[in-house]
A and B are shown apart, each in its own frame.
Chain A
Amino acid sequence: DTGVSQDPRHKITKRGQNVTFRCDPISEHNRLYWYRQTLGQGPEFLTYFQNEAQLEKSRLLSDRFSAERPKGSFSTLEIQRTEQGDSAMYLCASSSSGTEETQYFGPGTRLLVL
């Protein structure tokens, strides 16, 4: 399968714990995006990378959130000191920069903070 993959698919954690999610983009894609989707809403942009550089971060991304893409391939999203309000689906997407750029999405990681 050459699509975007995410791991884990589900995560249950207790409030205050740290969690880390991984995203593997489509191999030839240089751009990688993280979104968050809560019930009844569309995906909301969190951050984006071009190769290994993090070029934009949403105001939704508090100081407890950090994302990396160290070698310009896979990316990790870490949430420190989780709160119940962090419960959501975390989506990763990738694209190849250029004309008619299109983002392709992974299956997401569903986070539940108890």
Chain B
Amino acid sequence: AQSVSQHNHHVILSEAASLELGCNYSYGGTVNLFWYVQYPGQHLQLLLKYFSGDPLVKGIKGFEAEFIKSKFSFNLRKPSVQWSDTAEYFCAAPEEGYQKVTFGIGTKLQVIP
């Protein structure tokens, strides 16, 4: 079964700082990976996804993530955060066959103006 680990549970940054949130997965087969974001009071939204091809994936709002197979990692990055990026970020991976998606515990990002 797939498992997903997020190591940073709470991150506080000042505006314009660079962001990197860690995500590691366990499954060694065909890997598909997602980052979802949940802004305060809103529902989960897809930020970006990786299925195959270029391991550097670009998402919405200037976010990107890099799939590194040798490290079982899919870290989320943004070069310069804004106050509006304050949210909870979830890394996720579907089981093979897509019956379910396994989520990490989430990382709460607080950006200070």
| Chain A positions near chain B (C-beta within 8 angstroms) | 31, 33, 40-45, 48, 55-56, 58, 91, 93, 95, 97, 99-108
Residues of B bordering A, CB below 8 Å:
4, 32, 34, 36, 42-46, 49, 51, 90, 92, 94, 98-106
Q: Is the CB of A107 within 8 A of B51?
A: no
Distance of A55 Cα from B45 Cα, bound (Å): 25
A50, B44: Cα distance in complex, Å: 22
> Do A56 and B99 have beta carbons less than 8 Å apart?
yes
A-B contact pairs, 17 of them (CB 8 A): A33-B100, A33-B101, A40-B105, A42-B90, A42-B104, A43-B44, A45-B100, A45-B101, A48-B99, A56-B99, A58-B100, A95-B98, A97-B98, A100-B51, A101-B94, A102-B34, A105-B43
Measured in the bound complex, the distance between the Cα atoms of B98 and A31 in whole Å is 10
In order of increasing CB-CB distance, the 3 nearest A-B pairs are A42-B103, A45-B100, A105-B44
